Amino acid sequence: MPRVVDHDQRREAIAAAACKAIARQGIDAVTLGDIGDHADCTTGAITHYFADKDAVMLAALDLVIQRLYRRMSRAVERDPTDLRGFLAETMPLRPQSRDGIKVWFSFWTRTFSSRALNRRQREMHVRWFNALTERLSVMDNAGLLRPGVDIAFETETIAALINGIGLRAVLDAREWPAERQLAHLDAYLEKILVQPS
């Protein structure tokens, strides 16, 4: 009896393999053969599920985005007022999240020459910006933000801070371990959060 293949699972496994390959080799150096090695399949199997390398690359980016939002959603479910926990899920604190951030940053330079990627990056940024604005609004309504905090301004500042820390941490992981990343985040949050008395 022929083995039943879950096509969605197989596509996700190939996208996950592409994430690993991009994180280790960089987006421009990765070949379908490299992705096949990580996915334990042939390039023919990959092209059965994806039209070309660019389609695999986009699937990898989409997978990174899906994983990020799953982590952020779980953080909100645990505690809607834990801003630090929510933001920590967007930082490269662990190997898997570091690989995801590497994939994300790998696509940045490609957005200059690809309208589709530029649109995808902008959509992702708007979604992230809105989620962060919502978290800050929840904190404000709970009386956990310092009086006079401008939510729109702080959202922009936090987004830039997280991007900057993430970039430094993937470029120089040894110099930017989780502890250092969180120390910078904590120093910033002290300025906007009401401190326990």
Q: DSSP characters for 107-154?
A: TTGGGGT-HHHHHHHHHHHHHHHHHHHHHHHHHHHTT-BPTT--HHHH
Q: How far apart are CA 126 and CA 92, in angstroms?
A: 20
Which tokens in the block code for residue 163? 């991007």
Which tokens in the block code for residue 41? 């399949």
Residue 14 pLDDT > 90, yes or no?
Answer: yes
Compute the average pLDDT of residues 31-40.
92
pLDDT confidence bin for 3, thresholds 50/70/90: low
Residue 9 pLDDT > 80, yes or no?
Answer: yes
Compute the average pLDDT of residues 135-142.
96
Q: How high is the pLDDT of residue 5?
A: 61
How high is the mean pLDDT of the chain?
91
Q: What is the pTM of this model?
A: 0.86
pLDDT confidence bin for 196, thresholds 50/70/90: confident
Residue 184 pLDDT > 70, yes or no?
Answer: yes
Residue 109 pLDDT > 70, yes or no?
Answer: yes
Q: How far apart are CA 17 and CA 40, in angstroms?
A: 9
Q: How high is the pLDDT of residue 122?
A: 86
Q: How high is the pLDDT of residue 107?
A: 85
Q: What percent of the chain shows pLDDT beyond 70?
A: 97
pLDDT confidence bin for 114, thresholds 50/70/90: confident
**Residues contacting residue 82 through CB under 8 Å, at least 6 positions apart:** 75
- 7-192: which CATH architecture? Orthogonal Bundle (1.10)
Q: Regarding predicted confidence, which is higher, 36 or 107?
A: 36
Q: Regarding predicted confidence, which is higher, 88 or 108?
A: 88
Q: How far apart are CA 45 and CA 168, in angstroms?
A: 36
Closest of 158, 183, 189 to residue 169, by C-alpha:
183
